[in-house]
Structure 1
Amino acid sequence: MSAGRETPRLAKLVCRLALCSRREADEWIENGWVSVDGKVVARLGARAHPNARIEIHPLASQHRSEAITIVFNQAQPTPAADELDERVLPGEIIRADNHWSEDRALRRFAPTHLRGLALAGKLAPDECGMLVFTQDGNTARQLVGRSSRWEKEYHVRFVGELDDQGLDRLQHGLTVDGIRLTRVQVSRLSEQQLRFVVHDNGRRQIQQMCELLALPLCEIKRVRIGSVPLGKLPPGKWRYLRRDERF
């Protein structure tokens, strides 16, 4: 058996000793609050012998670990949903160099903010706009799926013409293969742009509705989830969810 397998990660031993989360253990190590056999170890990923003397600085118990949530503006093209889960790791698109300079959350980026960060709500390959990454499992569960109670707002650009009769059909629901689509809120933003408000577009309902009206789409952009807007966040940039914001 290799030495790496014989010696567990220090963070795991800290979790057992202090009954804390892995994220908290990583933060304590990174802040220099953990020592092994009298020597401070501040390197994430460090290993320690199970019988080593591990001490945790009193400051660690006063430190309140807060789950991080991040809003990212995905520019087109968006990877396919399954590719986004399997191929793109949060650390590949959430980096210090593309953190929005006008972020008002007043947080400083730290590697621990990527620990356990998960995508909460995919975009289809032909969609762009707002993505949410979070360390908070409860937030993730509330944002994902048809049972989500949070509204998702999309701005849709199309080519061609849509008369009032067509808009009325979009507003009052359509039928696909004998199944009536869920009714959604639809309104005009301009002659070539519509606003859709849904609870879930996981089955591409917006696209299906527009296809039924032979309405070619050139952009589908998610601009809001719940009460949190994408706002002025530029494409390819991200920001922290502020403490005063709630979905």
Structure 2
Amino acid sequence: MLERLQKVIAQSGITSRRKAEKLIEEGKVKVNGKVVTELGVKVSNVDKIEVNNVPIEKERFVYYLFYKPRGVISAVSDDKDRKTVTDYFGNVNERLFPVGRLDYDTSGLLLMTNDGDFMNLLIHPRYQMDKEYIVKTKGIPSKEDLVKFKKGIRSEQDILKAKQVKIMSVDKGKQTAIVKVILHQGKNRQVRRMFDAIHTPVSKLRRERFAFLTLEGLKPGEHRKLTPHEVNQLKKLAKKIVK
């Protein structure tokens, strides 16, 4: 399979794609011994690529399912020196990035990978991947309020919708409820914003499922590799949905 030269350089981990494009234009990249200065060039796995006369090593793709704890940033670094999801992967040599994000106070299932195409396939709204959340609320939402979730709730400049919503249990004494919400969208802080809109704040929030993947067998802070079958199933599911 052929891929753009700048993408292959970026995937090797030595620089970003934008900087790779600059290196190509400056004549600092060779393919099979010949200098390449055009950005449209595509290469295969057998092509020998050099940057500043140093051969690059192509980074293998890896895929992980991570149980993100509360109080952790879904990013590779943080300017406030808070703990990030990559801090839990010190034994992994490849650069990892979170697929989408869970906010600081939200726990649950988060995928981690270095495969940019795979990442985009899963987070793009057109692919409509199920994301299931379990929500503990301060207050008990009415059925009428939850109907609004499926119709769409305006929040700031967004229309936020749920694919499914169901009250799992209520505690009338404590005035709390457990609610299951399934989303296809992935707007910033979407679940919390939807419940804020019906004046029923979220006290705890956990993502339980992404497509067919669950947290089974994992504790907060733990991770496991996705099997090749799981990776292929996710790709097939996304492509099937978009058709």
Partner of 1:117: 96
Structure 1 stretch 217-226 or stretch 194-203: which is displaced more? 194-203
Q: Distance in 2 between matches of 1:178 and 1:204?
A: 13
* Counterpart contact for 1:90–1:114, Cα < 8 Å: no
Partner of 2:88: 93
Q: Distance in 2 between matches of 1:138 and 1:124?
A: 23
- Return the offset for 1:68: 1.5
CA 1:129–1:151: 2 relative to 1, 3 Å: same
Where does 1:205-220 land on structure 2 (aligned, <5 Å)?
205-220=190-205
Q: Distance in 2 between matches of 1:217 and 1:161?
A: 11
Report how many aligned residue pairs link the two structures.
183
For residues 118-176 of structure 1, what are the alpha-carbon distances to aligned partners after superposition, in whole Å with 9 as ceiling and x for unaligned? 22111122311111111322211112243443121111111222232233333332233
* Counterpart contact for 1:173–1:184, Cα < 8 Å: no
What is the aligned counterpart of 1:134 among 97, 103, 113?
A: 113
Tell me the TM-score normalized by structure 2. 0.61
What is the aligned counterpart of 2:63 among 66, 69, 76?
A: 69
Gaps of 5+ in 2: 1-12, 15-30, 34-43, 171-176, 235-243
Partner of 1:224: 209
Gaps of 5+ in 1: 1-10, 26-49, 55-64, 97-112
Q: What amino acid is aligned across from residue 74 of structure 1 in structure 2? A: K
SS of 1:244's equivalent in the other structure is helix
**What's the Cα RMSD here?**
3.8
Q: Which has the higher contact order (CA 8 A, sep 6+)?
A: 1
User: Is 2:139 aligned against 1:144?
Assistant: no
What is the aligned counterpart of 1:243 among 202, 206, 228?
A: 228
- Return the offset for 1:185: 1.6
Q: Distance in 2 between matches of 1:126 and 1:70?
A: 21
Q: What amino acid is aligned across from residue 194 of structure 2 in structure 1? A: M
Q: Distance in 1 between matches of 2:159 and 2:165?
A: 16
* Counterpart contact for 1:142–1:150, Cα < 8 Å: no
Quick check: which one's strand share is greater? 2
Where does 1:1-247 land on structure 2 (aligned, <5 Å)?
20=45, 67-79=61-73, 84-87=75-78, 92-96=87-91, 113-176=92-155, 180-191=159-170, 192-245=177-230, 246-247=233-234
Q: Distance in 2 between matches of 1:91 and 1:161?
A: 36
SS of 2:71's equivalent in the other structure is coil
* Counterpart contact for 2:192–2:201, Cα < 8 Å: no
Identical columns (%): 20
- Tell which structure's C-alpha radius of gyration is larger: 1
CA 1:211–1:240: 2 relative to 1, 3 Å: same
* Counterpart contact for 1:159–1:215, Cα < 8 Å: yes
Q: Distance in 2 between matches of 1:91 and 1:208?
A: 26
